[in-house]
Structure 1
Amino acid sequence: MMLGRLARWLRLYGYDTLYGVEEDGEILRIARDEERVIITRDSGLSRRAKSLGLEVILLGSNSLEGQVTELEEHGVEFGELSPASARCPKCNGPLRRASGEEVRGKVPEAVYQKYDEFYICEKCGQIYWPGRQWREMVRMAEKLKNARGG
């Protein structure tokens, strides 16, 4: 029961979020060893986690909006989106601010000329800037906030 979109969303809000582990036993081991909270739509996995004393949030919604609302009901906070506090949505690595000179030749010239704010993932090297995609994410955050009455 895939939660990839939610995982990327949590990373954008700065939450250290693992995703892509397929085997339930491995999920349980990682949660135990790293003291992580399991977020799932799988009731069987939820039962197993609870029986082991692990913290688990069982989601019922299929939509990102519904999942975010459910997480808020469990105390997960979604403040303002900020690239400075986000994690890489692709790999979960920490982002760090980068100078224009550092990214020159690594981003399209038009992007280099237009923006003066860049971030690099310390894990995978992906470069981010507050362009169209970031503005769309901010709009989506506002839409979710308004839908929740925030």
Structure 2
Amino acid sequence: MRFIADMMLGRLARWMRLYGYDTLYGIEDDDEIIRVALAEERTILTRDSGLANRARKLGAKVLLLGSNSLEGQVGELRAMGIEFNELFPANARCPKCNGPLRRTSKERVKGKVPKSVYEKYDEFYVCEKCGQIYWPGWQWREMLKIDKKLRGEK
């Protein structure tokens, strides 16, 4: 499934990307969200019932969420049949730009990451679209904790 999230759902959009879902985000105009959703066969993620109703009338697929919290939104999506399997790195997308992530060799990131990071880690991923480099550092470990919480694990 491919999604487009409205401006109320930025945090959810980033997490959807981490779970491997192609999720557009950043379009402010509701009419443009509907146009892109229809043109690219994307499901609209929104908390805005007005946007949801207009989009449905035009034939777009919509998932209307009620929760303000990431946990609540993920719970609602799970109840609607959206799967949230373990994060990174299998199918994750870049949380910044939605590009696909791929594993890369340590040698290819030399000089592109801080020296201390290069010396400490052997596992690196790069976004094929924006070039952002990721590694299993502190932020990664924190994301894995949130992932377990979102998936109901302890």
Fold equivalence (TM over 0.5): yes
Residue 62 of structure 2 is matched in structure 1 by: 56
Counterpart CA distance in 2 for 1:135 and 1:4 is 21
| Counterpart pick for 2:78 among 54, 72, 75 | 72
Deviations 1:35-68 (A, max 9, x none): 0000000100000111012110000000000000
Q: Work out whether 1:97 is the aligned partner of 2:103.
A: yes
- Percentage of pairs with the same residue: 71
Number of aligned positions between the proteins: 148
TM-score after normalising by structure 2: 0.92
Q: TM-score, normalised by structure 1?
A: 0.95
Q: How does 1:1-150 map to 2 (within 5 A)?
A: 2-146=8-152
Counterpart of 1:102, as a letter, is: R
Quote how far apart the aligned CAs of 1:15 are.
0.3
Give structure 2 stretches of 5+ with no counterpart.
1-6
The answer on whether the counterparts of 1:13 and 1:82 sit within 8 Å (CA) in structure 2 is yes
2:74 counterpart SS class: helix
| RMSD after superposition | 1.3
**3-state DSSP class of the match of 2:23?**
coil
Give SS of 1:110's match: helix
- The range that moved more, 81-90 or 39-48, is 81-90
Detail structure 1 runs of 4+ shifted over 4 Å in the superposition. none
* Structure with the larger strand share: 2
- Offset, 1:144: 2.0
Unpaired runs of 5+ in structure 1?
Answer: none
